[in-house]
Structure 1
Amino acid sequence: MNTEYNMKQIAAERAAGYVQSGMKVGLGTGSTAYYAILKIGEMVRAGLDIQAVATSRASEELAVQQGIPFTPVRDIDRLDLTIDGADELDGMLRLIKGGGGALLREKMTAYRSDKLIIIADETKEVPVLGAFPLPVEIIPFAYEWTVQSLKELGCSVQIRRDREGAVYETDNGNYIADCSFGRISEPEELAARLTGIPGVVEHGLFLGMADQAIIGCRDGSVRIIGADSASE
């Protein structure tokens, strides 16, 4: 296991410590959330009693393998806590998410959560968002028009493809346009402009949603941004 993955695991396992019996928990998607699901599964097998929902089919399959009990979304009004990763985050807990292709379900889950904890390794923390291409979920119909509208915002656009070279489809049957803006100095303004484009289902800017970030560092320490900020 390389150093980066150790950092992810350190952050994920620290976040799992916030999960308590009786909670309704959202499980995120991606390489860091993977470790959180493994740890929560271990806790469930040791007696933790929770209800869970997942932000992607992949996370749900992993959680089922770990013995984590699921409740249909229709039977849960709100979640106590969601633990998820991020592709980038700044000091104001503004995020870029969607590298794992689950940004719509992730945002819906975060919106219905009383607390959103972001877990990441220290390489994901940046002074200004934008080095990571911003994922934007778009509908397949006339996607070329949507791509053109996105380019008019001043970015280059690549339609995401899978490992076989086919157009990648989200769990919702949509496409993802990865938009390279460079520095996103005004993410709130960009978010509003993206939302106004017909054909855009959702974008990967998560603004004002995260309550706390737990950052795993190369030296094995954990740094917390937001509530209960600390280093150890």
Structure 2
Amino acid sequence: MKTEGGTDEAKRRAGERAARAVEDGTVVGLGTGSTTACAIDALGRAVADGLEIRAVPTSFQSRRLALEADIPVTELDAVDRIDLAIDGADQVVDQPAASAHGALIKGGGAAHTREKLIDATAERFVVVVDPSKLTDELDRSVPLEVLPDAHSVVGDRVRELSGEPTLRDATGKDGPVVTDNGNLVLDCAFGAISEPGDLASRLSRIPGVVEHGLFVGLADATYVGTDDGLEVREY
């Protein structure tokens, strides 16, 4: 099951629903992407109305949006907990009977290393998406953040796993994408991924891989915004 295209209204509904889950005194992790941006915007309005929170952004982009919304921003090492993380996804397995139900592919914005750190640390991790991100089986390319000197070696190891790596090129500048951490990104096509947990473990063992974009067993819920409502998946 795949639905083409996600509307601004669907993204807004998902983001605003997640923002309503943020209570006074919460330390919230802020993910990266257009749907999470809707949550940040809604949180900014709530802060203006008196909500007291601290936010830990996952990227330069989410930090900039939070500051523009006048949300108090802090760093991971300055807090003793993250109560709730709100983040988007490029794909979400939506098959309740499948062992991979709720597994994600992230990293379209090349921020998945810090996103995974924040999302895995949080007491509760909520994914916000529109229906176009739902799928029966993950099949997008898996982003790998890699050390610059290791990208060729990592590419060879990915091919041994029957994947096809492509160095992600930047737009607006010559050369590859460089992450906020100063690393490169390999987009690795594996076709349909029937066992994302197994592939995640294999990718994590490759020397030179900083982090990969498979998020397995991390999400607690997915909020799916639609043009006329909202659907919630709890895991």
Q: Please give the TM-score of this superposition, normalised by the length of structure 2.
A: 0.92
Identity of aligned pairs, percent? 42
Aligned pairs (5 A) from 1:176-215: 176-215=185-224
Alignment of structure 1 residues 46-195 onto 2, 5 Å: 46-91=49-94, 92-130=101-139, 132-163=140-171, 164-195=173-204
- Cα deviation 1:59-86 (Å, max 9, x = unaligned): 1011001100012322212100000000
Deviation (angstroms), 1:3: 5.9
Q: Following the alignment from structure 2 to structure 1, what is the Cα–Cα distance between the partners of residues 9 and 115?
A: 24
CA distance in 2, matches of 1:174, 1:124: 26
- Quick one: which amino acid aligns to residue 8 of structure 1? K
Deviates more, 1:50-59 or 1:152-161: 152-161
Q: Partners of 1:53 and 1:113 in 2: how far apart?
A: 11
What amino acid sits opposite 1:173 in the alignment?
A: G
Number of residue-to-residue matches in the alignment: 224
Contact persistence 2:151–2:186 (CA under 8 A)? no
Partner of 2:206, secondary structure, is coil
Aligned pair partner of 2:31 in 19, 25, 28: 28
* Equivalences for residues 210-225 of structure 1 within 5 A: 210-218=219-227, 220-225=228-233
Check conservation: 2:6, 2:130, Cα contact below 8 A. Answer: no
Q: CA deviation at 1:142?
A: 3.2
Residue 152 of structure 1: how far off its partner (Å): 1.5
**Separation in structure 1 between the aligned mates of residue 79 and residue 196 of structure 2, nearest angstrom:** 31
Distance in 1 (CA, whole Å) between partners of 2:54 and 2:234 is 26
Partners of 2:88 and 2:65 in 1: CA distance = 16
Counterpart residue identity of residue 95, structure 1:
L
TM-score, normalising length: structure 1:
0.93
Distance (Å, rounded) in 2 between the aligned partners of 1:4 and 1:58: 21
Q: CA 1:165–1:64 in structure 2 vs 1: closer, same or farther (change >3 Å)?
A: same
Which ranges in structure 1 are unaligned for 5 or more consecutive residues? Answer: 228-232
Between the aligned partners of 1:122 and 1:165, the Cα distance in structure 2 is: 34
For 1:39, which of 20, 37, 42 is the aligned residue? 42
Supply the RMSD in Å over aligned alpha carbons.
1.3
Q: CA deviation at 1:6?
A: 1.6
Q: Structure 2 stretches of 5 or more lacking a match?
A: 95-100
Partner-residue secondary structure (3-state), 1:141: helix
